[in-house]
Chains A and B, each alone.
Chain A
Amino acid sequence: MTRKESFEQLRLDNVGRRFGGQDALQDLDLTIRAGEFIALLGPSGCGKSTALNCLAGLLPLTSGSIWQDDKRIDTLPPERRGFGMVFQNYALFPHMTVRSNVAFGLQMRRLPKAEIAERTAAAIRLVQLEEHVGKLPGQLSGGQQQRVAIARAIVLEPSLVLMDEPLSNLDAKLRLEMRTEIRRIHQSLGLTTVYVTHDQEEALSMADRLVVLRSGQVQQIGTPEELHTRPANWHVAGFMGFRNLLELDATRADGGGVVVEGHGLRLTGAPASGVSAGEPVVVGVRPEDIVVQPRDSGAASARDAAGNEVPATVEVVEYHGREFAVEARTRSGLAFHVKTPERVAPGNEVTLVIPAERLLVFPRGDERPPAPALERSEPSLSEVGST
Chain B
Amino acid sequence: MSTATSRSTPPTGLSRRHRLAERGIDSQLLLLVPALVFVLGLFIYPFLYGLGLSFQPTNGGGAFADYQRFFTDAFQRDTIWKTLRLAIPAALFNVLASVPIAYRMRGRFRGKRLITTLLVVPITLGTVLTAEGLLNFLGPAGWFNRTLQAIGLIDQPLRLINNYWGVFFSLVITGFPFAFLLILSYLSGIDPTLERAAATMGADWKARFRRITLPLLAPGLATTFCLTFVLAFSVFPSAILVGNPTGETRVISIAAYQAAYEQYDYPFASAIAMIMGAVELIVIAVVLVWRSRFYKGATGGKG
Contact = CB atoms under 8 A, between A and B. Distances in A.
Interface residues of A, number: 29
Interface in B195-211: 196-204, 207, 211
B216 interface: yes
A84 interface: yes
A85 B194 CA distance: 12
B44 interface: no
Contacts of B199: 57-58, 77-79
B300 to A, nearest CB: 6
Contacts of B198: 93, 104, 108
Nearest to B196: A58
Contacts of A58: 196, 199-200
A174 B203 CA distance: 31
Interface in B175-215: 191, 193-194, 196-204, 207, 211-212, 215
B299 interface: yes
**Among A79, A92, A105, A109, residue most surrounded by chain B Cβ atoms (within 10 Å):** A79
Interface in B261-299: 294-295, 297-299
A236 interface: no
A91 B298 contact: no
A106 B38 CA distance: 56
Contact of A138 (B196, B197, B294, B297): B297
Contacts of B201: 79, 84, 104-105, 108, 152-153, 156
Interface string A74-92: 0001111111110101011
Nearest to A149: B197
A95 interface: yes
Interface residues of B, number: 23
Given A79-B202, A105-B202, A95 B196 contact: no
A94 interface: yes
Contacts of B298: 94, 138
A95 B193 contact: no
B191 A84 contact: no
A75 to B, nearest CB: 15
Interface string B22-50: 00000000000000000000000000000
Interface string B212-233: 1001100000000000000000
Contact of A82 (B194, B202, B212, B216): B202
A255 B238 CA distance: 94
A83 B242 CA distance: 57
Interface string A29-59: 0000000000000000000000000001110
A70 B215 CA distance: 40
Interface string B138-175: 00000000000000000000000000000000000000
Interface string A97-137: 00000001100110000000000000000000000000010
Given A78-B196, A79-B204, 18 more contacts: A56-B196, A57-B200, A77-B199, A79-B199, A81-B200, A82-B202, A84-B200, A91-B193, A93-B197, A94-B216, A94-B297, A95-B294, A95-B297, A108-B202, A136-B295, A152-B197, A153-B201, A156-B201
Interface of A: 56-58, 77-85, 87, 89, 91-95, 104-105, 108-109, 136, 138, 152-153, 156, 162
Interface of B: 191, 193-194, 196-204, 207, 211-212, 215-216, 294-295, 297-300
15 contacts: A57-B199, A77-B199, A79-B203, A83-B200, A85-B197, A87-B197, A91-B191, A93-B197, A93-B211, A94-B297, A104-B198, A108-B201, A108-B207, A138-B298, A156-B201
